[in-house]
């Protein structure tokens, strides 16, 4: 249901559950020109905001909304997003990300045909601390040249419900792509399975052109939670802590001054490490509010919606996780990564490969075959 111009109130449906669903309910209530016309799975909205629907599909089919926000829905994300796009609704899939690269690519193509906006949640990228780090790493100054990234994402056992390791992996791999702005040459990984047999911890390494490296440590079975990005930039180290509201960004630099020493004590090797915190003015960062506002701002100018979609970016992040899973299956062997370009993406999107199937032999040739079987089919690209 394309919008001509978002001068009137936009009717939005919210499908979700848990803390993320409640967070987006509060975020949408704070925005102007937004009517939360329908909801599903959000207990605090029952009887308060619009009409509550018993299931997601009935909301998509019957609710009079132009846009839908999926915030940790209980159903299959691919099925729900696909149905919303077929009904020509704009979609914000806030998370967690649970799609394969192929599913993401197909949803992107469907959104383009429907003229709908498809955005996947990237709250982390919208924070002032992450934006500062991104701008710093994009600097051409040699003193800020990126040497390596180290990402740590540890989740407490039992606190994240059905949250899967793949969702955490894709989110952090996306952060690497965003900060380094290049495709890695290789991905290698090892994993640790829990009692259920599912991988609950993974250690992923990526090597980029120019020597930059990235290391990810992920776990869903810890007693505490930590989410950090450590960037070694020239002679400085920047630490971004997503769970520290007071000092989310710290910059450590090796100064030229020498540390004081007692009489007779040996001189310290190296300078003094100076630690500074970067302060950000304004209200504390609200990820769901920032993401909902960004989504609605994109709808305010409905021209060229396809260029505002984030599906292609998250498809790439999903491909990296699939490569990491392949490396885990190969006991940590490096997996080479194909390189993307805008031209390659456009060619793949607008000129799909056509396949022609040729039968590998006639019936009268079967008896002449050594094994008495018809030769295999051949598939040729044309």
Q: How do residues 137-152 score in pLDDT, each as one tens digit? A: 887 666 677 889 999 9
- Indicate the length of the chain as a whole number: 382
* Residue that has been written with the tokens 């100054």 in this structure: 141
Regarding predicted confidence, which is higher, 291 or 209? 291
pLDDT value at position 211? 84
284 within 8 A of 128, measured Cβ to Cβ:
no
pLDDT value at position 227? 95
Tokens of 122: 């990237």
Please tell me the distance from the alpha carbon of residue 382 to that of residue 350, in angstroms, as a whole number. 15
Please tell me the distance from the alpha carbon of residue 53 to that of residue 81, in angstroms, as a whole number. 17
Is residue 277 scored above 70 in pLDDT? no
How far from chain centre, in Å, is Cα 148? 20
Is residue 362 scored above 90 in pLDDT? no
Please tell me the distance from the alpha carbon of residue 134 to that of residue 132, in angstroms, as a whole number. 5
Is residue 160 scored above 70 in pLDDT? no
| CA-to-CA dists, residue 314 to 177, 217, 218, 291, 348, angstroms | 10, 20, 18, 16, 16
The whole-model pTM stands at 0.80
* Residues whose CB falls within 8 Å of the CB of residue 246, separated by 6 or more in sequence, listed in order: none
pLDDT value at position 305? 82
pLDDT value at position 51? 86
Please tell me the distance from the alpha carbon of residue 42 to that of residue 15, in angstroms, as a whole number. 7
As a whole number, mean pLDDT of residues 8-18 equals 92
pLDDT value at position 253? 80
Going from the N-terminus, what domains does the chain have, and what CATH number goes with each?
10-124+287-308 (3.40.50.720), 128-245 (3.30.360.10), 352-382 (no CATH)
pLDDT value at position 88? 96
Is residue 115 scored above 80 in pLDDT? yes
Is residue 96 scored above 60 in pLDDT? yes
pLDDT over 90, % of the chain: 55
pLDDT value at position 159? 57
| Of 90-94, 145-149, 232-236, highest mean pLDDT | 90-94
Is residue 219 scored above 90 in pLDDT? yes
pLDDT value at position 254? 65
Q: Convert the pLDDT of each residue in 281-323 to its tens digit.
A: 567 889 999 999 999 999 988 777 878 899 999 999 999 999 9
pLDDT value at position 164? 86
Q: Convert the pLDDT of each residue in 25-47 to its tens digit.
A: 999 999 998 999 999 999 888 76
Please tell me the distance from the alpha carbon of residue 377 to that of residue 355, in angstroms, as a whole number. 12
* CB-side neighbour CA atoms (13 Å) of 366: 8
Regarding predicted confidence, which is higher, 227 or 195? 227
Is residue 355 scored above 50 in pLDDT? no
Please tell me the distance from the alpha carbon of residue 305 to that of residue 111, in angstroms, as a whole number. 9
pLDDT value at position 63? 95
The average confidence (pLDDT) of the chain is: 81
């Amino acid at each position: 249901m394309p919008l001509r111009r978002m001068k009137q109130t936009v009717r939005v449906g919210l499908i979700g559950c848990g803390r993320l669903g409640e967070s987006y309910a509060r975020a949408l209530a704070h925005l102007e020109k937004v009517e939360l016309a329908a909801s599903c799975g959000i207990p605090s909205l029952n009887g308060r905001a619009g009409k509550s629907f018993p299931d997601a599909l009935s909301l998509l089919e019957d609710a009079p909304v132009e846009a839908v926000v999926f915030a940790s829905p209980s159903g299959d994300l691919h099925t729900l997003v696909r149905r919303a796009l077929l009904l020509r609704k704009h979609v914000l899939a806030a998370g967690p990300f649970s799609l394969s690269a192929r599913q993401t690519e197909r949803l992107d193509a469907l959104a383009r045909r429907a003229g709908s906006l498809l955005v996947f949640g990237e709250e982390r990228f919208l924070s002032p601390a992450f934006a500062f780090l991104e701008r710093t790493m994009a600097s051409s100054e040699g003193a800020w040249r990126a040497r390596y990234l180290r990402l740590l994402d540890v989740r407490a056992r039992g606190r994240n419900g059905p949250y899967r390791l793949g969702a955490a992996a894709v989110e952090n791999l996306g952060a690497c792509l965003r900060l380094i702005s290049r495709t890695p040459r290789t991905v290698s990984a090892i994993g640790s399975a829990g009692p259920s047999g599912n991988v609950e911890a993974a250690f992923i390494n990526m090597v980029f052109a120019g020597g930059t490296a990235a290391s990810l440590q992920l776990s869903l079975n810890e007693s505490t939670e930590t989410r950090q990005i450590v960037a070694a930039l020239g002679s400085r180290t920047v630490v971004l802590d997503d769970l520290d509201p007071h000092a989310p960004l710290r910059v450590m630099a090796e100064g030229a001054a020498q540390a004081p020493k007692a009489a007779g004590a040996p001189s310290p090797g190296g300078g003094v490490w100076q630690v500074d915190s970067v302060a950000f003015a304004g209200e504390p960062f609200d990820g769901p509010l920032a993401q909902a506002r960004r989504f609605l701002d994109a709808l305010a100018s409905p021209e060229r919606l396809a260029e505002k979609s984030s599906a292609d970016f998250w498809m790439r992040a999903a491909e990296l996780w699939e490569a990491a899973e392949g490396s885990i299956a190969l006991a940590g062997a490096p997996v080479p990564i194909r390189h993307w370009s805008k031209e390659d993406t456009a060619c793949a999107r607008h000129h799909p490969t056509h396949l022609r199937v040729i039968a590998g032999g006639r019936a009268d040739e079967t008896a002449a075959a050594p094994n008495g079987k018809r030769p295999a089919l051949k598939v040729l690209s044309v």
